[in-house]
Structure 1
Amino acid sequence: MKKYIQYFRLNMINQLKYPVDLLSGILDKIIAAAASFFLWYAAYSDDRIVNGLDINQILIYVILANLITFLFNNGKDREIAKRMKNGDIAIDLTRPVQFQIYTVMRSVAESISKFCLFAAGIIVILKIVYRSYLLNDLLLTIAFLCSILLGICLQAEIDFCIGILSFWFINYWGLSIAKEAVVEIFSGALFPLELLGGAVQQAAGFFPFQYMLAVPVYIALGTDPSGTAQSIMRQILWIAIFHLAGAVLYKKAVKRITIMGG
């Protein structure tokens, strides 16, 4: 376990070596969040309640959704696909660590470093500005932070599974674009799931994507319809499901690599 913790620490430090990349990503999300903020404010400033959410809750949702999306943009699925295609996966097989755990921990380390360097400060500012709407007690704050961490882990496990699937696809680009589109819609990254309508919102409940983003935001707002404890348990369940699925897919991929490579 110590070697995985060491990899985790080194990846967090590695994030600080490329401040320009980090700052450009931060600037990109600030612009996107600002654009979304003013768009939603202009659209719903006259209607104080929209599908059970008032305008302040919607604005907080938009900002937090952009922040969490910023944490998710690691591109590990594309990195895995590239390594599978060019044969660098063979190097990973020689490492004294499990490739799946190593990849997931790298992704989580990068996300946590982004959170500590940027997102945490924005959340504090939001709490000051929207004091009565956000994180109204200590337990809710702890649950929110746990839910964000679980959402990051779930995103990393899903990306690992999608990346491994590239072994069976000639053109991974289409699969990656389809994944990103589905995740953005059903995770609530573009807009609150309440605005999708009853049927679509109900369908979204059968997918894991809302547990990546929408659920942590709902917990922060204190509006989680399923209850905080139940939602966190479902996050853990989805992480376990995708971890097992990733392990099975990786095992099958390695067998094919071994056979084809002699």
Structure 2
Amino acid sequence: TGASALLIAIPSADSQLVGELADLSSAASLQVKILPVVDDLISGRVTIGDIRDLDASDLMGRHQVETNIDEIARYLTGRRVLVTGAGGSIGSELCEQIYRFAPSELLMLDRDESALHQVQLSIHGRALLESSDTILADIRDAATVEQIFLDRRPDVVFHAAALKHLPLLEMYPQEGHKTNVIGSLNVLRAAEVSGVSVFVNVSTDKAANPTSVLGYTKRAAERLTAHFAAEAA
């Protein structure tokens, strides 16, 4: 079509829909922008200039009220940060945000080479996939994940790798279990043996009162994370 951007103008869109649109846009090399509510445009409270970039809160279904930038910087600046699922809609947004805080190294792990290419391109403006910051691996492979963590020794881990499309997971629940539960367990164990100091599990509001394969598998990942945190305390 020759389009270069996708404008989302659906005020009621939940994180699931936004994530699906972001994934489709990424595959088509389109930028994603969020349009203000039409009523606000008509009333003049905002203008077309208030179109904004997609951010993590849109993808996670949670809107931050207040952000302590100094506190975030303390955890990220000058530290080695690893993001799993770095090429996904949430993971790629996290990578872009984390990069702004000048980590000593930003390690982007994903099993999809095209997704890694896209996120590296969005951050650096080029993507030859020849540098050590991109890691092609599947979190289902416990031995490989552990070796990566032992070799690279990340200080901070953001675990965003997950299968998250509701209808597909209802059709293939075993795949959701392998990635969202077993894969998360592999990452947690690797973080434990390699001495990761900060571990952030990126979850979903579907895990709060689970009624789907996505919700139940992400809830299991939350409980596993809580267990490892309690063991480390």
- Which protein is richer in helix relative to its size? 1
* Common topology (TM > 0.5): no
TM-score, with structure 2 as normaliser: 0.26
Higher strand share: 2
Larger relative contact order, structure 1 or 2 (CA cutoff 8 Å, min sep 6): 1
